[in-house]
Structure 1
Amino acid sequence: MEKHQEARLNSIDQEEYGLFAQELINTCIISDPWVEGKERFRLEPIILTQGEHQRFCQAITSVGTAYAEMIHLVYNDEDLLERSFYLTPWQKVMWISSGGAWHGIARADAFVLNDGSIRICELNADTPSGEPEAVILNKLRHRFHPDLIDPNAEFEEKFLRMIRSSYRATFGEHVPDQPTVGIIYPTDIPEDLSMIELYRTWLENQNWKVVLGSPYNLTRAPDGTLRMFGQRIHIALRHYKTDWWGEREPVLFHDEEYLDPDPLDEPLQAILGADVDGRVAVVNPFGAILAQNKLAMALMHKEIHRFSNESQDAIRAYIPPTFRLCDVDSNTLLRERECWVLKTDFGCEGDEVLIGRITPAETWERIVTDAIPERWIAQEYFHAAEDENGMVPNYGLFLIGGKAGGIFARFSSASTDYRAVTVPTFVET
């Protein structure tokens, strides 16, 4: 853990944190108040002004609109798809089967610069996380700040409204009031179990039946319905990454192959077939394969003239200049290392992301020369504003059903990863 981060955490009142940790565990949602023996949470909140909060809401809404326009452009221009993205055969099947549907819930990673402007370095439009931390942390700490507004107080309501809307869009208005929801997630990976439990709690509180499982538990019945463990599901709540469903290919010429490179062809045929036939509502839809792909940001800048004036303004204002690696001279990247950030097409925050100014020169040179250029982007580096301890806040801005949905703030001293410190976020009245 970085020294600034550790110094900040060491200032926590251990008795107060112990009481908070027990309260957190008692929610039966979040069970890990510590990570690597260090506190995951800071009890002192970030307090936004009304103006700051409104600017965040405007940023995520505008960027969401730009992504929707990008999806529409690509869906109606096969040549644009072919020259802008590198999709495997099964990834292309996911995209085509989606009919251009891509969104239910997403989260942008936003940063504030010293001049107060906002930059969004990526949009997790596929399997966004952070919902439990955003909602529960604020809920537990709000009573200590009753004069402030909890911007996540309506998160659950917005999420359920989006799920109902997706359900009705698939089946029509005259549908059972109590559908069965299958939550599909990687059952062998524990890091997002708190989110799965939160979703299950919200859905079961609506008297909906919830079934949990992985893609391997999906089958398609003779009547065309989608089944999980033999039970029909009306809504497939997908928290299994689109790039994990398809073929998994290396991002470096000399990279080792994945241990599990093969596509999940049988589960994919089951869920995509049911989706295309209108027998299941999928959230997020498989069109997220493009919105999640970081090459989308390069397309936005390269084809910016094809967007509406409003989205052109949003792209320029919020999304740092982004280029496909194959469109950037490698000598420029080597010479100007501190000016760039390299990201793979489906790499997560802190994973397959290299920030030039904190990456050793030899590592940077190795990646630049070994990267499969169609699978990477180069994004201009920006310097985010730091707090008095040298920590940088990452504002996770949720987009739910195309509208601002909530905020999830974390502090780190370098790139944001699982060791970042999560803090409550409130707004002045």
Structure 2
Amino acid sequence: MNRINLDRVYIDIVKDRKESCYKDYLKTIERVKNSTAMYKGKPIPFLYMPKFYTEEDIERFRKLTSTLMTILKKVIDRYVEDSSFREKFGFTKLLEDLILTEHGYSAKVPMARIDIFYKEDGSFKFCELNADGSSAMNEDRELSRILSGTVAFKEMEKKYKIHSFELFDTWVRESVSIFKEFDSSIDKPNVAIVDFNDKGSSNEFEVFKEAFKRNGYNAEIVDARDLKYINGNLYFNDTKIDFVYRRLVTRDLMERADEIPDFIRAAKEGKVCIIGPIKSQIIHNKIIFKILHDNDTLDFLNKEEISFIKNHIPYTAKLDGDNLNYDELIAEKDKFILKPMDFYASRGVYAGRDFSSKEWKKRLEECSGRDYLIQEYYTPAQSDLVEFNEGKLMINKFNNITGIYMYNEKLYGLYSRVGENAIISGLHDCYTLPTFLVTKK
């Protein structure tokens, strides 16, 4: 059993029931509109087809993330220990100070979503590493709930056992476990889910809040500007906050540090449990892809880890200062993609294949001097997926990207996006597919 065969089975089910599935698809659109699967006030774009993974896929993901986390923890340790190594990242003095603060528990990356380009034969390359602010769990949750009630899915269930991934109660369990390392004396910690109100995903935060409460913990969604730090304790109104679930991404934190002096002081002094720590910026910033290839990084890794990097981390260089041959970058434009070091949601990302040579040259010039990276473009795997266009059933090819959710450095779930463009993101007309694990009956 493999994913391609599972896709074919599902497509055949829809083909055999075109009319009933189309009517069901229209109802599904309404269900999504009336759900919390929203982004910036609009329903999440989806297809009338889930993304299926097998136990073999999950085992591959466990192995690759285990190797990656071992490498990343070595890099984080070297950053903390070696001031000359720290210089490679180019972080500000404030950010460096926050990173070097002892965070009080063993996990260096408590939450992450590792995005990869994954092919049927098991080959893959990494796209990006999302640490602080990792999101979209509610998109998968809601779409999984809704799509599992469709006509086609119920027919699929007659043939296979199909399981969704639970990403909320599991996070409560793991985050509380992390907090207990920090302070085992508090049985029922008060939790603050922290971001700027004008930045965060309120629907998703509400679901996390309810998950904490369902498991017996007081939780509040808190704007970082409303926190007060008094005598080594963090407060929201009159409530002492025992641990922060940080959704506030480091870039936003740094750009608006003057708005949140109390949160900054709490993070600097290390007396409040913040999950995740500012250390996560070491791997969250896309400069990590370049640094992993540097000789002085490879020097403290073993042969297996070096091979892993060379095979799976795309070639990456600074657009400024890495002795690049611009004529080659232009002549071979389809082989490259431009990425800002520290934006998120694919903002400011440009693939050479989307531009003419003249336009690409202009993009290179515009991005020069703006903390940009040039990276090898890896052609994503394609899959045939169901799409309805004005009532007509179409089977179209889509590029795939897979997100792997890591809680407390362990795999807990998957996230799937597909698109027909070179860049697969919400800014580039992509779709989110609910993810399921399929096993034989």
Structure 1 match to 2:118: 112
Q: Does 2:409 correspond to 1:402?
A: yes
Cα deviation, 1:203-222, whole Å, max 9, x if unaligned, reads: 1112211222222111111x
Structure 1 match to 2:188: 178
Distance (Å, rounded) in 2 between the aligned partners of 1:378 and 1:359: 15
Q: How does 1:190-269 map to 2 (within 5 A)?
A: 192-221=201-230, 223-247=231-255, 263-265=256-258, 267=260, 269=261
Structure 1 match to 2:96: 92
Structure 1 residue 276: Cα displacement: 5.0
Structure 1 match to 2:276: 284
Structure 1 residue 91: Cα displacement: 2.0
Does the CA-based 8 Å contact 2:113-2:406 persist in structure 1?
A: yes
Distance (Å, rounded) in 2 between the aligned partners of 1:343 and 1:11: 43
Distance (Å, rounded) in 2 between the aligned partners of 1:217 and 1:343: 33
Distance (Å, rounded) in 2 between the aligned partners of 1:187 and 1:341: 32
Structure 1 residue 331: Cα displacement: 3.2
Equivalent residue for 2:299, pick from 297, 302, 305: 305
Distance (Å, rounded) in 1 between the aligned partners of 2:75 and 2:84: 14
Q: Does 2:60 correspond to 1:55?
A: yes
Structure 1 residue 272: Cα displacement: 4.1
State the one-letter code of the partner of 2:100: I
Query: Which deviates further from its counterpart, 374-383 or 233-242?
Result: 374-383
Distance (Å, rounded) in 1 between the aligned partners of 2:196 and 2:108: 20
State the one-letter code of the partner of 1:305: D
Query: What's the TM-score, normalizing by structure 1?
Result: 0.83
SS of the residue 1:179 aligns to: coil
CA distance 1:185–1:359, shift in 2 (3 Å): farther
Query: Which deviates further from its counterpart, 389-398 or 56-65?
Result: 56-65
Structure 1 match to 2:263: 271
Distance (Å, rounded) in 2 between the aligned partners of 1:123 and 1:402: 13
Structure 1 residue 94: Cα displacement: 2.2
SS of the residue 2:344 aligns to: coil
Q: Does 2:340 correspond to 1:336?
A: no
Q: Once superposed, what is the RMSD of the aligned Cα atoms?
A: 2.9
Structure 2 match to 1:327: 322
Distance (Å, rounded) in 2 between the aligned partners of 1:160 and 1:181: 10
State the one-letter code of the partner of 1:421: Y
Q: How does 1:355-394 map to 2 (within 5 A)?
A: 355-373=351-369, 375-388=371-384, 389-394=396-401
Structure 1 residue 196: Cα displacement: 0.8
Q: Does 2:428 correspond to 1:413?
A: no
CA distance 1:31–1:368, shift in 2 (3 Å): closer
Distance (Å, rounded) in 2 between the aligned partners of 1:333 and 1:97: 40
Runs of 4+ residues deviating >6 angstroms? none
CA distance 1:12–1:108, shift in 2 (3 Å): farther
Cα deviation, 1:83-119, whole Å, max 9, x if unaligned, reads: x212123322322225597411111111124754111
Query: What's the TM-score, normalizing by structure 2?
Result: 0.81
Does the CA-based 8 Å contact 1:295-1:376 persist in structure 2?
A: no
Q: How does 1:78-157 map to 2 (within 5 A)?
A: 78-82=83-87, 84-97=88-101, 102-113=108-119, 116-142=122-148, 144=154, 145-146=156-157, 147-150=160-163, 152-153=165-166, 155-157=167-169
Does the CA-based 8 Å contact 1:126-1:291 persist in structure 2?
A: no
Does the CA-based 8 Å contact 2:331-2:357 persist in structure 1?
A: no
State the one-letter code of the partner of 1:283: I
CA distance 1:108–1:32, shift in 2 (3 Å): closer
Distance (Å, rounded) in 2 between the aligned partners of 1:286 and 1:76: 16
Distance (Å, rounded) in 2 between the aligned partners of 1:413 and 1:35: 21
SS of the residue 2:94 aligns to: helix
Does the CA-based 8 Å contact 1:34-1:40 persist in structure 2?
A: no
State the one-letter code of the partner of 1:118: F
Structure 1 residue 373: Cα displacement: 5.0
Equivalent residue for 1:72, pick from 60, 63, 77: 77
Distance (Å, rounded) in 2 between the aligned partners of 1:74 and 1:416: 32
SS of the residue 2:397 aligns to: coil
Number of aligned pairs? 396
